[in-house]
Every structure is written in structure tokens, then in C-alpha cells.
């Protein structure tokens, strides 16, 4: 069966990186996402904004199957997430297959979620060694390079508790990058940071965007969205209210709800 | 003079002059007269009890001295220690397995663990030990092979299992149920974000457990496990139900059955138990101190994180970004919040 579904060519520019078709998600009777349809192109940076409880984070978590969809289809790089399709039927994926899909999708959390019992370096090295089975020496070299890239070469042997929030979040970004993902998801990466530490994390993300990484960023940083994002999506109440060019949406919002939200945050 | 200096410093751009040293408080300390009264009272009562005990013939102190280092008693003490160690080691391993099973996403595995706990925690250990003692009556032979065919291997249960082995089985299977709950509490105390982060990196459930969750839960698991060891040491006195008669309590009962003088031998046994629990308590103190590192005294302890924590990398959680404030009960179970 799986032979039918061998992923096709590695890079197909015509296939969008993320394609969401009428994605819905309910927790019990609470419908959090209502038929979301979105497309994120290769190399594109998309910012998801909206009031809390609007479903932004849930949508992000659906993309790497941390949440299971209630309805609709979601594919990353042309590959259906969480399900295998064969002869017109959907088969639920085994945890192993789902884990394999997640390898290629990096995720950065609001609360960093670094492993506190490991140093920064060990945090970055853990997944490539355990999941990909790469040799330790090679992984260590890459990990040190990545830490240098996020400006933390000297902090490699520090435990998370000895790092500032901004430093922890940068380690978390390096940890996600160590798996060489084709897509990066950021779930409010600066919301738990002290104001003076936000900039250092955003700078790393800007660099990442410049290098051509496809990114979906749930954020409240409108300045970042304006400067870096290729597209901006405003969500409210589980639906996409407005989407388009960030400059246009931010300066000239069409929808009343967008106007109301932006008037509060800008 | 000093006033002008101070105002000048705070108003101008020059660095502020050091404030004059604060004056230490000189106050009469609060007295606690009742503490003294009670302390004296307790000391007096205790002394009277001691003097009384020293001269009371029923305690028979000369016999206590005679049997305290009796060869039979010290041998029995070794058996008690062996029972404790073997049973605890097996119980901890089994407990970890059961706790992980209980948290498994697989409903079959979960139910098996739940059933185990239900049975072994729901019946008294004395009853369990008695049943284990009758095992060779229930299963006189143990056959290994495919059912309804000629067995490959066949044992007489009585030959295979010594009374000591049966006692260890009985104690450890019972204790495993309690250890499972302790380990489960530890696993639940680890922040849910840890599991999510590991999952998002593509780690399997087993990898997440062994590499991320279990090491962090040790801090919560260790202190109550120390308690369980002390408790186990005393529970070994129940293996007389098996009946294993070589451990401390049963051995001292047997000796007193000959001498018709039970009280001094009970004192002897108690002194040995007290010695062992004291040693264990000291051990637990140091173990707890070690595992509390990074939680309570993070600021004061490690000046250089790189070298100070290097000694136990990988095995123990040294520092926590989000440590639980209290040791035992997990406040929020994963899945409970969404």
C-alpha cells in the first residue's frame, strides 16, 4: 500500500509548502477552527495575528499534527499530514510515521520548552542523534555552528536555567533548526519574554527569513510582521477574517473586526 | 555636611556618594517563657521514664545486652537487609514500568497496569505473602512450553522457589504497586511542554519518556522512594507469613520461644531496625539534598554551571526552568488543562 504513496520529487516549487483546505478543529463541542483554507508558498513568511482564543495556535499545532484535525485536509510539501491516502481512502498514520513527518517541521514554543536537564548544546544535539541517528561528532559540529548562528556560541555548556529568556528562545530555535526542517512554526515566540529581550529573538528570526526558510509565525509583533512577513493573516473566532499583504492589511484593514483589533495593538 | 553631600549627589550627574551605613537594630528579643516551661517538663518526664525503665525487671537489660550481638540475630539482620534490597530494586524497576504503562496511550497496556495496581494495592501485604507461601500448593508444577503439548521444561515449584525467593516476590510485587504511583506522580509533575517539544522534534514516545520525562521526574520520585525503602525494611517482618523464619523479627521471636522471655528480644530487634532506619535516613537526607539542587538553591550553589553540573550530566535533572514548587503531589495533570 505504501508503495503507492512514495513521496514524489523532493523539491516541487509548484506545490505549496503548506496547504490547508477547510481545516476544522473542535475540542468537544467547542469549535476552535472553522473551515480554514490557507496556502503558504515555499520560502514565504506568513504571520498569523488575532486576539487570543482566535485559533491561531491551534492551527499551528495542527500543521505538525500535535492536534488532530476534525475535518478538512492539511498537507505540507504535498504530503498529507497525519494520514496516508491510498485508493481514495484515508488511513490514520502510525505514531512512527507521524513522528517522521514532524522531523521536517520545526516548532518553537511560547515557553521555549527547552529540556532543563540538558545543556544548550545537548538540547540542540538530542534530536539529530536520537531521531536521525547521526554520528555524535558530526552533530556536535553542526550544533555548535547553529548556536553560533543564533549568537550563543559561548553559552553552549550552560543549562537553560542559567540563560535569559531571550537566550533560551534562541537555543530553542537552534534546536529546531538542527533537524534541518523545511518549515518552521513559531507559536508566539516572544510573548513570554521581557520587552528588552524581544529584539534579539526577532533578529534571529529575521535572519532565518532572509535565508529563505518557510515560516509561519503566530505573533503580536506587528512591526515584525510588517517588516518580514510576505503575507499576513488575521484570525478571529476560528475563521480567517482577512489575509493579504502585511502593509495593506495593517495600514488599511477592510474588515471591521480587523480594524478593531489593530486599533488596540498598534 | 553629610546632608549637602547627599543632595548634591542625587541631583547632579556625578556618581552617587555611598549612603552612610545603616544602624543595626538594638531591641530586646521577644521572650518565649512557655517554651522553657514545657521543655523542662518534658525533660523531667522523660528522665523519670528512663530511670524507671532502667530498673524495671521486665525489660531484662542484661538479656538485651546478651542477645544484641548474638550470632543468630546478626545473621537474621543480614537476611532482613537482603530482603529489603532485593525487593526494593525489583519494585522500583517494576514500578517504573507500571507507571509508564499507566500513562501509555495504548488502552490495553493502560488497563493491565490499572488492574495490577487494583489487585496489589487493594489487598493487605500480609494476605499476599500468605498466598505466596501457599504457591506450591496452588501450582505444584511449573511447565514451560506451548499449552496442550509436551512441555519443554518442567519444575517442581517447591524446588524452584526457596522461601526467601517467595518472600522477595511477595514483597516486591506488592511494593511495585506503590512505587508505580510514586513514579507516576513524578512523571505527571514534568511540564507538559516537555513532551510536546520532544514530540515536535520527531522523537518517539519511548524516546520522549526515557530521554526527557523520566530524568526530570527523578527529583520528585526520589524522596518518597526513600520513605518506601524505610517502610520496606519494616515490612520484611511480615514474611513470617510465607513462612520465612530467618529474618530479624521472626528469629527473635523464635529465640524468645526458647527462653520464655520475649521482651528483651523484642528490644533487640527494635534496636537493629532503628539502626538500619537511621542509616537509611542519613542516606535519604543526602540523596534529597543532591536532587533538590537546581530547585531550591539555584542562585547560591553553582557559580560555574559548566563544571559544577558536569558530574551528573544526563542522569539527573540538575536545573529546572520551571521547577515544581513542592515535591510531592503534581498540581496539574497533563491533559487536564487545555
**pTM greater than 0.80 (yes/no):** no
The complex's ipTM?
0.90
- Over residues B268-322, the pLDDT tens digits come to 999 999 999 999 999 888 877 776 654 544 443 334 444 333 333 333 344 444 4
Nearest residue to B133 (alpha-carbon basis) of B166, B164, B171, B156: B166
Chain A hits for B321, CB-CB cut-off 8 Å, are 112, 114, 116, 160-161, 168
Residue B327's CB: how many other CB atoms inside 10 A? 19
Residues 6+ apart with CB under 8 A from B172: B86, B87, B88, B90, B91, B94
- For residue B106, the distance in angstroms to the closest alpha carbon of chain A comes to 12
- Select from B230, A228, A210, B78 the least CA-distant residue to A219: A228
Q: Please give the grid coordinates belonging to residue A231.
A: 503575507
Residues whose CB falls within 8 Å of the CB of residue B316, separated by 6 or more in sequence, listed in order: A117, B215, B218, B219, B290, B291
Q: Between chains, do A113 and B191 touch, taking CB under 8 Å as contact?
A: yes
Alpha-carbon distance A103 to nearest alpha carbon in chain B (angstroms): 5
| Measured CA distances, A136 to A40, A126, A143, A176, B312 (Å) | 34, 10, 10, 17, 19
CB contact under 8 A, B201 and A102: yes
Give per-residue pLDDT as tens, B215-240: 889 888 988 999 999 999 999 999 99
What does the alpha-carbon distance between residue B142 and residue B164 come to, in Å, rounded to a whole number?
A: 18
Stretch B140-144: mean pLDDT, rounded?
A: 85
Return the pLDDT at A1.
39
Cβ within 8 Å of residue A136, ≥6 positions away = A125, A129
CA of residue A53 relative to chain centroid, distance: 18
- What's the confidence (pLDDT) of residue A199? 94
- pLDDT at residue B337 above 70? no
Pairing of strands A45-49, A231-236: parallel
pLDDT given at position B289: 76
pLDDT at position B100 over 50:
yes
DSSP secondary structure, A190-203, as one string = TTTS-HHHHHHHHH
**Burial (CB count within 10 angstroms: exposed 0-12, middle 13-18, buried 19+), residue A240:** buried
Q: Which of A96, A131, A160 shows the shortest C-beta gap to B201? A: A131
Look over chain B and give the mean of its residue pLDDT values, rounded to a whole number.
83
- pLDDT winner (highest mean) among A136-140, B28-32, B55-59: A136-140
Q: Cα–Cα–Cα angle for B75, B80, B84, nearest 5°?
A: 145
Cβ-contact B100, B303 below 8 angstroms: no
B69 forms beta bridges with none
pLDDT of residue B21: 82
User: Cβ contacts of residue B130 below 8 Å, gap of 6+?
Assistant: B241, B242
Interchain CB distance below 8 Å, A111 and B193: yes
Q: Is A157 on the interface with B (CB under 8 A)?
A: yes
Contact B309 A158 (CB under 8 A): no
Q: What is the pLDDT of residue B222?
A: 86
Q: Report the side by side order of strands in the sheet with A30-40.
A: A30-40, A18-27, A71-76, A79-80
Q: Using CA atoms, how far apart are residues B325 and B138, in angstroms rounded to an integer?
A: 49
Per residue of chain A (266 residues), give pLDDT as tens.
Answer: 344 444 444 556 678 999 999 999 999 999 999 999 999 999 999 999 999 889 999 999 999 999 999 999 999 999 999 999 888 899 999 989 999 999 999 999 999 999 998 999 999 999 999 999 999 999 999 999 999 999 999 999 999 999 999 999 999 999 999 999 999 999 999 999 999 999 999 999 999 999 999 999 999 999 999 999 999 999 999 999 999 999 999 999 999 999 999 998 87
Q: Give the closest residue to B230 by CA, choosing from B170, B305, B287, B312.
A: B287
Amino acid at each position: 500500500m505504501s508503495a503507492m504513496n512514495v513521496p514524489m520529487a523532493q523539491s516541487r516549487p509548484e506545490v505549496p509548502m503548506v496547504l490547508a483546505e477547510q481545516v476544522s478543529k473542535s475540542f468537544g463541542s467547542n469549535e476552535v477552527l472553522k473551515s480554514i483554507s490557507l496556502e503558504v508558498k515555499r520560502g514565504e513568511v506568513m504571520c498569523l495575528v488575532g486576539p487570543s482564543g482566535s485559533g491561531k495556535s491551534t492551527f499551528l499545532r495542527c500543521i505538525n499534527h500535535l492536534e488532530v484535525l476534525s475535518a478538512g485536509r492539511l498537507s505540507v510539501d504535498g504530503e498529507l499530514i497525519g494520514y496516508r491516502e491510498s485508493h481514495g481512502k484515508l488511513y490514520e498514520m502510525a505514531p512512527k510515521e507521524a513522528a517522521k513527518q514532524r522531523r521536517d517541521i520545526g516548532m518553537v514554543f511560547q515557553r521555549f520548552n527547552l529540556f532543563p536537564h540538558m545543556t544548550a548544546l545537548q538540547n540542540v544535539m538530542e534530536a539529530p542523534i536520537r531521531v536521525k541517528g547521526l554520528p555524535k561528532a558530526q552533530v556536535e559540529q553542526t550544533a555548535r555552528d547553529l548556536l553560533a548562528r543564533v549568537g550563543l556560541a559561548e553559552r553552549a555548556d550552560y543549562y537553560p536555567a542559567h540563560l535569559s529568556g531571550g537566550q533560551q528562545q534562541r537555543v530553542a530555535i537552534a534546536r529546531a533548526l538542527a533537524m534541518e526542517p523545511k518549515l518552521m512554526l513559531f507559536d508566539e515566540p516572544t510573548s513570554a519574554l521581557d520587552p528588552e529581550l524581544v529584539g534579539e529573538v526577532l533578529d534571529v528570526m529575521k535572519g532565518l527569513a532572509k535565508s529563505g526558510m518557510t515560516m509561519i509565525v503566530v505573533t503580536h509583533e506587528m512591526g515584525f510582521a510588517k517588516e518580514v512577513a510576505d503575507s499576513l493573516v488575521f484570525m478571529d473566532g476560528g475563521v480567517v477574517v482577512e489575509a493579504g499583504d502585511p502593509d495593506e492589511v495593517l495600514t488599511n484593514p477592510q474588515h471591521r473586526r480587523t480594524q478593531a483589533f489593530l486599533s488596540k495593538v498598534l | 555636611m553629610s546632608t549637602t553631600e547627599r543632595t548634591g549627589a542625587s541631583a547632579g550627574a556625578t556618581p552617587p556618594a555611598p549612603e552612610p551605613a545603616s544602624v543595626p537594630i538594638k531591641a530586646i528579643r521577644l521572650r518565649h517563657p512557655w517554651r522553657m516551661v514545657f521543655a523542662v517538663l518534658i525533660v523531667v518526664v522523660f528522665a523519670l521514664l528512663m530511670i524507671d525503665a532502667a530498673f524495671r525487671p521486665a525489660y531484662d537489660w542484661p538479656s538485651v545486652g546478651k542477645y544484641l550481638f548474638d550470632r543468630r540475630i546478626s545473621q537474621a539482620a543480614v537476611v532482613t537487609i537482603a530482603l529489603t534490597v532485593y525487593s526494593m530494586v525489583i519494585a522500583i524497576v517494576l514500578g517504573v514500568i507500571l507507571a509508564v504503562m499507566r500513562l501509555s496511550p495504548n488502552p490495553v497496556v493502560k488497563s493491565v497496569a490499572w488492574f495490577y495496581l487494583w489487585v496489589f494495592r487493594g489487598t493487605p501485604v500480609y494476605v499476599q505473602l500468605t498466598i505466596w507461601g501457599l504457591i506450591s500448593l496452588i501450582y505444584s508444577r511449573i511447565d514451560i512450553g506451548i499449552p496442550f503439548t509436551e512441555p519443554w521444561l518442567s519444575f517442581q515449584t517447591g524446588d524452584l522457589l526457596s522461601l526467601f525467593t517467595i518472600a522477595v516476590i511477595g514483597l516486591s510485587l506488592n511494593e511495585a504497586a506503590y512505587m508505580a504511583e510514586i513514579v507516576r506522580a513524578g512523571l505527571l509533575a514534568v511540564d507538559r511542554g516537555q513532551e510536546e517539544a520532544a514530540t515536535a522534534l520527531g522523537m518517539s514516545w519511548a524516546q520522549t519518556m526515557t530521554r526527557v520525562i523520566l530524568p526530570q521526574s527523578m527529583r520528585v520520585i526520589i524522596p518518597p522512594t526513600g520513605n518506601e525503602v524505610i517502610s520496606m525494611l519494616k515490612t520484611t517482618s511480615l514474611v513470617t507469613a510465607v513462612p520465612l523464619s530467618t529474618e530479624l523479627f521472626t528469629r527473635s521471636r523464635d529465640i524468645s520461644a526458647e527462653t520464655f522471655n520475649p521482651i528483651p528480644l523484642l528490644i533487640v530487634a527494635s534496636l537493629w531496625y532503628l539502626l538500619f532506619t537511621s542509616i537509611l535516613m542519613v542516606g535519604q537526607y543526602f540523596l534529597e539534598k543532591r536532587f533538590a539542587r537546581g530547585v531550591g538553591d539555584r542562585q547560591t550553589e553553582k557559580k560555574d554551571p559548566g563544571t559544577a553540573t558536569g558530574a551528573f550530566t544526563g542522569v539527573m535533572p540538575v536545573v529546572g526552568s520551571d521547577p515544581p514548587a513542592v515535591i510531592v503531589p503534581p498540581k496539574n495533570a497533563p491533559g487536564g488543562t487545555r
